[in-house]
Amino acid sequence: MLVKERVRSLNRRRFESEEVEPAHPLRWRQRVLTVRVLSGHDWLVASGLVAQHDTVTCKSKFEVDLRPILEVRELCVAYGARGGGVWRALSGVSFGVGAGEILAVLGESGSGKTTLAGSLLRLLPRNARITGGEILLDGADVVRMSGVDLRRVRGSGISIVFQEPSLALHPTIRVGEQIGEVLRAHGTWSRRERVEGTRKMLAKVFSGDVERIYSSYPHELSGGQQQRVLIAQAIACEPALVVADEPTASLDTTTQREILTLFKRLRDELGIAFIFITHNPALLAGFADRVLVLYAGKVAEVGPTHEVLRSPQHPYTQALLKCVPPVDSDGAAGRKSLLPVIGGVPPSLAAPSQGCVFEPRCQDRMETCQVCEPAAAVLGGGHEVACLKFPA
């Protein structure tokens, strides 16, 4: 019996709950309850939704998390160069994502953000390979999955929203049919059910005009509408996790905010977790739950969004946030000022680095930074920083 039916039989108070069980042999479940009235751990045990020994953590007023849905452990990715060399795009990246969480991945161009996104679904170029680490999706290692299991988990367990919708959407197929293909690949839907399911997904991401959108070709839609179609594709099978690779990069400011609001609403309604990749820290305040800062393929800092933005501890995070253009509160016309820049150049990923990768550009560098690689230091409250200024 579904979670929704079991709880309704025990308690008639109004609530909402979600259970997602994709049709693949791993049979993992996204276990998130969005409950209007929380009655405590004993009530959850009595309802059969959790075991007596399960630890239940309340993330917010309406959410209950039972365990993380994604754990990345010491992930390493390398690209093979034409001359026979190797470019180390990711080195020892570790983090986790809880159910219903929005994790932002922040970094400048070349930091490894897009490589990380592709690695989570094993959608990497031919010259790239995962050289180490684990990607555990509800306990199942994506790195070691067979091709058959990968095809089943992509879309139904984890999905992706690509950066450029005009390239991700097929130009000669109507968008409704493209969303329907996702449903056809992950279930035994009849044609009528696929059409109804597609319209339902479009209604979740568009406020109206669903029929016109359904019958349109990609070139007949604006950039923001195309991006919403990609989001509808990504959530069509209600996966536990959606990776959004800079989905707002090519959109204007107003549309960017609309897309962020849409992500938060989908999280609240469906319990979907998001990994939001961006180079713009101005988008994260009030949106992401946590921020992970990448530099040269390594995690520099990770922590709650309000702490990282308000009080960054890593010198790279501090320098990155200083590069954000300030808002001119005086509104003075003609005022010009130079934006701060991070001096130096990023390190070469072709040569193994010794010491801290940010040391040549760091304003706070010490002698030990040239020879010692910093380990993650725990600052408390889920805030970690990889810097030798803090004892690990």
Q: Tell me the pLDDT tens digit for each residue of 56-105.
A: 333 443 344 446 899 999 999 999 988 788 999 999 999 999 999 999 99
| Kind of pairing between the strands at 63-65 and 18-20 | unpaired
Return d(Cα 285, Cα 315) in angstroms, integer: 20
**Model-wide pTM > 0.85:** no
Beta bridge partners of 63: 34
Angle at 323 between CA 107 and CA 386, to 5 degrees: 45
What string of DSSP letters covers 36-85?
Answer: SS---HHHHHHHTSS-TT---EE-SSSEEE-SEEEEEEEEEEEEE-TTS-
Angle at 368 between CA 362 and CA 372, to 5 degrees: 95
pLDDT tens profile 342-385? 888 888 888 777 899 999 999 999 999 999 999 999 998 999 99
Whose CA is closest to 225, among 196, 255, 245? Answer: 255
| Kind of pairing between the strands at 376-380 and 298-304 | unpaired
pLDDT tens profile 183-236? 999 888 899 999 999 999 999 999 889 999 999 999 999 999 999 999 999 999
